[in-house]
Amino acid sequence: MQELAITVIGRDRPGIVADVAGVLAGLGANLTDSTMTRLRGHFAMTLVCNGPEAGAVEAALAPLTADGQLLATVRAVEPDAGGAPQGEPYLVSVHGADRLGIVAAVTRVVEEEGGNVTDLTTRLTGPLYLLIAEVDLPPDTAERLADRLHAVAKELDVEVTLRHAESDLL
């Protein structure tokens, strides 16, 4: 058994997740963390599982991709022993007219302030562009990052907010 990183991308149709999960279960591969969404209507799934050798998994997925509508990749990865992510969770929201380089500019500033993007979604609907990112920040950097994000947003003529995404233990 080894850790495998698998991506499946292509034309959406009902049943892809069930098909992929069925193939993996049939191989005794245990699906651990996964995420799936639709990106402009395309099916997009990324997952990590513990399974047999990558070639065997790729071969087992081949019937699903044979018609050329889906692309699947399988790669062995080193298990990441790192514990829970460190830092304070914040949410960055950006919206405005679509501009080249919004994601690049925003995430670069986050990186330069020592932050780490842990989750990100962007959507373009009509003329509206939206970016939502979960970021982990080192202590006492939020204010500075907020200032820099506002400067970037001004240049790009978009709106930006940085909010603490704190959770309450109940």
Judge whether 149 and 160 are in contact, CB under 8 Å. yes
Residue 19: CB minimum distance to other proteins, A: 19
Pick the stretch among 60-68, 83-91, 122-130, 147-155 that binds other proteins (CB under 8 A). Answer: 83-91
Which of 44, 103, 136, 146 binds other proteins (CB under 8 A)? It is 136
Stretch that binds Zn ion, among 64-72, 96-104, 141-149, 162-170 (CB under 5 A): 162-170
- 89 touches other proteins (CB under 8 A): yes
Name the minimum Å distance from CB 59 to other proteins: 30
Q: What are φ and ψ of residue 82, in 5° steps?
A: -55, 140
CA-to-CA distance for 119 and 116, rounded, in angstroms? Answer: 9
Q: How many residues bind Zn ion (CB under 5 A)?
A: 1
- Alpha-carbon gap, residue 104 to 40, rounded angstroms: 20
# residues contacting other proteins (CB under 8 A) = 23
Tell me: does residue 37 bind other proteins (CB under 8 A): yes
State the DSSP H helix or E strand holding residue 88, giving kind and residue range, or none if neither: strand 88-97
- DSSP code string of 25-71: HHTT-EEEEEEEEEETTEEEEEEEEEES-HHHHHHHHHHHHTTSSEE
Query: Residue 168 half-sphere exposure, CB side, CA atoms within 13 Å?
Result: 1
Binding flag, residue 170, other proteins (CB under 8 A): yes
Binding site for other proteins (CB under 8 A): 35-37, 83-89, 118-119, 121, 134, 136, 138-139, 165-170
Q: Which residues bind Zn ion (CB under 5 A)?
A: 170
